[in-house]
Chains A and B, each alone.
Chain A
Amino acid sequence: MNNHSHSLKQAKTSLRSPAKVMDLNRLGSFYPYKLSFMRKLMRKVMQEQWNINRVLFNLDKEGYGEAVYEITTPSNCYHFVVFANFLDSTLRTDRVIAEAWDMTVTLRHGPFKPDELETLKENVPRQEKGRMSAESLVLSRANKSSRNFEYVVNQLSSGMQPCIKKINEVGYLYRTTAVYGSGKFGMADWGKIKLAYQDFKEPFSAEMFACFMIRQFSLDQADHIAFKRAPELAVRLDDDIKRYFGIGNATGLGMAPFLIKHPLLINSWIETREFALAQVISNTLPNKNTLQALNLLIQRAIIHLNEITTNNESQNKINLEASQSLGSIIKWLSKETLQEWDQFIDYVTNHYNVEAQELINTILIEIHPEEVLSLEENHDIEEIYALSPEMKLLDLRQIIEKQYQWALQYDFNSKNANAVFWYRSEEKMEPRLGDRDIDQGAEKEILIGIARAVEQCHSTLNKLPPEININNVAEFVFAYPEHRQIIRRIQTMAKTKYGEIQANLLDKDVLPIHLLRCKLSFFGVGKFDPKSRLWVRNTMFQGAPITSDIGSKYKDDWIFPIMPNNQMSKGNEIH
């Protein structure tokens, strides 16, 4: 448990049950919220007024070359290095197995040293095949949006702003396809980052910052190319439009095993979100101001949902239903006199689906910053899954039957419950999903089927021969070492509330995309555009400040970004 527990004892409203929250369908309905990592990062950058300067911008007229940005925070200095290269459009792919990209980048500690550029140039563009130094925090790459980039540059070089509606179809100029940190390829270990680079001591904040900088470079590069093409005619991209550009991202199965392998971390993320919600419901009452804020934000969310463009029919249906639900909720709110938030939550829960419920929860949290922002620094967890060998078998069995009851409901002898397996491909170790009846490699499957492992352990416990005198966990794992790993997990997670995703990930109809969306929502990612049940495109930092905003007053209000009402882009529609 993290340190919210004490305060919760004083709260009137308890946390929601794990059975409710950890349902895969609900996790797949989470939206980015006030404490999502990008939101936290932007508050930090803006409040501490990080100084971000371009110290090298050596691009040719096509925008190819190198750029370096130096970032000075109150306590440290970093630099962000970009290599922009020509990429044949036939090689442009979102897949992790790609070998070349439009842009490759790294975020490093310390001031920029020009004599290091050559070494970086030899390694950064090679991505997984290169080696990085222990002063590097992030390695990433991105590809141009084939729909947007050339259009925007053409508009700017013709002296016109791009059409907002056209931009809205995609929402970004570049799309990242992998963002590596935490010691990958020789970079700084997470343990080092936490201690030595405290600006990024929150999980994934260095990775998020690199994405923010990729977005900034994408905007700078577009301006640069436009001016090189037509120095007399070109205009700079309007700042309102720049803010509306996010940075795209394509996320596949690689993210899914992370959620299963780090249940303590996931517990912390979700418990913080649930605690924020419980605290709002318990400690505040609806009043004129909050009801007005609620109304405005619901209206913005409706516009946001209506503006999302995706070819995925299922996602379109989800967005449409959510938007319609929010419309009905506004009507209901206009007729009711709310005394307590519980009353509102009950109404939404009883009348609308999980998507609408989680939207409303997100909005309630958003409009109560005073209740929520104090929870900002609670995401660092030391992940130790230690065995408690002295535990009596009876106690272990009780824990399983109480806290893992969800895992015992599946029949793993049935074909459907054990139909798929997860494995790592030899191609860049990419996680993939296989069908046991069709695909090779089931004998090398990743241990991701927590429900099955729990069920097998429980079954062994139940079938212990009476003549074997086994009393405690130590004796049990001595006799059955194959269960030691899952028992460590069960015992550890028994001390927490959330963390275990209550679903059978080996089921024939499993929807990994829910796992991806859950994790992405904690990152702060929005505008989900599923490309299949296995991968999703999405948008980061849309509506967030741009570097030139640093130093101005910060309004932490870019949730549910909507198209800016930009006069300069009007009349530039494509017909």
Chain B
Amino acid sequence: MKFIRISINEFKALLNRACESYYGHKYDFEDTAAIIQWLEIHDLMGIINFLGITDVNPKKLNLTPVLLKDNKKRFVFDNQKHSLMHTGSIITDMTLAKCHQDNICHSNINNTFQPIVILPSLIKCSQYGYYAKAWWAEPEKNLLYLASINPNEMYPNYSTIKINNSILNNKSELDLICSKDSINSIESYLKIPPLSQKGKVTREILACEFKQRFNEKITSGLYIETAQYTRLLYIADQILVEASEQSRLGAGE
């Protein structure tokens, strides 16, 4: 497998162009690019997730989620079978605004995929001085994913836990809680016994490890598989305009 090494700034510029090309100006493409960048820098497959979306939906679609319930301290969204990549931010915006008003907000996001993209959104909650937690499951693999962050922190803690499938029944696809006060345990929301006794942590990334991953990339750049880089470049290049003698006049020639 061949890799190309690029800097973070270079990567950011490439993603901005790719997202502008794919999403157009109808969406906050810079924000989506920043989410992909965060995931990739922290070794959480940002590029693969983005390219996965472009594979599924090669054309630009109406990507707005539907708000199913809007109660005190609670939202329920239907993400219309779209990735959370391009809707996670506006859902987090809604959650943050309700938390600001009601001191806490619990959002359920159904009918979605790629829930891991919620991780950078947790940092936004933290920067507001709020506590935040998110969790989702992969029932077919008996896995529960948990992420949490305290106020004013740079990184969340993120873990994957092996769990009994029966306790995951009826669970919405992604839960996001944002609160001004510390949040109850995820087990209490899931109504299950404490996971430390029943569950088994299969993967854990602590905040300090996220920071370490960032520092590594700042120092040395990112190594991206050449095939993925080429695909990103192809998408990004769609925003470039064909050159002509006439267009050269537009540069002052």
Contact = CB atoms under 8 A, between A and B. Distances in A.
Contacts of A425: 240-241, 243, 247, 250-251
Contacts of A281: none
A482 B246 contact: no
B187 interface: no
B90 A186 contact: no
A143 interface: no
B251 A535 contact: yes
Contacts of B246: 438-439
B8 A444 contact: no
A424 B239 contact: yes
A424 B240 contact: yes
A435 B250 CA distance: 8
A435 B218 CA distance: 40
Given A185-B10, A189-B8, A485-B31, A440 B221 contact: no
A252 interface: yes
B176 to A, nearest CB: 13
A336 interface: no
A534 B251 contact: yes
Given A182-B9, A189-B9, A424-B240, A484 B90 contact: yes
Contacts of A252: 251-252
Interface residues of B, number: 47
B253 A440 contact: no
B71 interface: no
Given A426-B240, A433-B250, A488 B28 contact: yes
A478 B7 CA distance: 33
Q: Is the interface of B mostly helix, strand, loop or mixed?
A: helix
Q: Give the interface size bracket for A toward B.
A: 35 or more
B202 interface: no
Contacts of A231: none
B103 interface: no
Given A182-B9, A478-B94, A482-B26, A430 B251 contact: yes
A439 B247 contact: yes
B219 interface: yes
A389 B93 contact: yes
Given A131-B5, A192-B219, 17 more contacts: A95-B253, A134-B221, A424-B241, A425-B243, A426-B240, A426-B242, A426-B243, A439-B246, A441-B242, A444-B241, A474-B96, A474-B97, A475-B94, A478-B64, A478-B67, A482-B26, A484-B90
21 contacts: A95-B251, A186-B6, A189-B221, A196-B219, A253-B252, A386-B124, A426-B240, A426-B242, A429-B240, A432-B251, A433-B251, A439-B250, A441-B247, A444-B240, A474-B97, A477-B28, A478-B67, A478-B93, A482-B25, A485-B30, A488-B28
Interface of B: 4-10, 25-31, 63-65, 67, 89-90, 93-94, 96-98, 100-101, 124, 127, 218-221, 237, 239-244, 246-248, 250-253
> Can you list the 3 inter-chain pairs with the closest CB atoms, starting with the nearest?
A183-B9, A534-B252, A183-B7
